[in-house]
Amino acid sequence: MKYLITESKLEKVVMKYLNGLDLKILDKITNIYFVREGHDDYAYIVYDIYNRKCIIYYDLIGEITNLFSLDSNYSEELIGKWVEDTLDKEVKSTGWMF
């Protein structure tokens, strides 16, 4: 079964999904790290405080892209918006990491 969802509603669904991941925030001196509970060995998202850049682990972008049938660039953009909302900090740019 297929559903038609407006872009604004899709954005809200993606934000709810990201909230549901229960990512833990580790605030360090120059970066803020988003990690999954029990998986502190690597970050899903790294926010560079000084450059206001958001670096996203490629698996998370792929997860959003595949789950919601989105373009990977749009998934990256939505994750950046989620980081802005979560941290209440500006994200000037986004990128991905392996």
Q: Write the CB contacts of 80 (distance below 8 Å, at least 6 apart in sequence).
A: 54, 56, 91, 93, 94
pLDDT tens, residue by residue, 37-68: 877 678 999 999 999 999 999 999 999 999 99
pLDDT given at position 37: 80
pLDDT given at position 91: 97
pLDDT tens, residue by residue, 10-39: 999 999 999 999 899 999 999 999 998 877
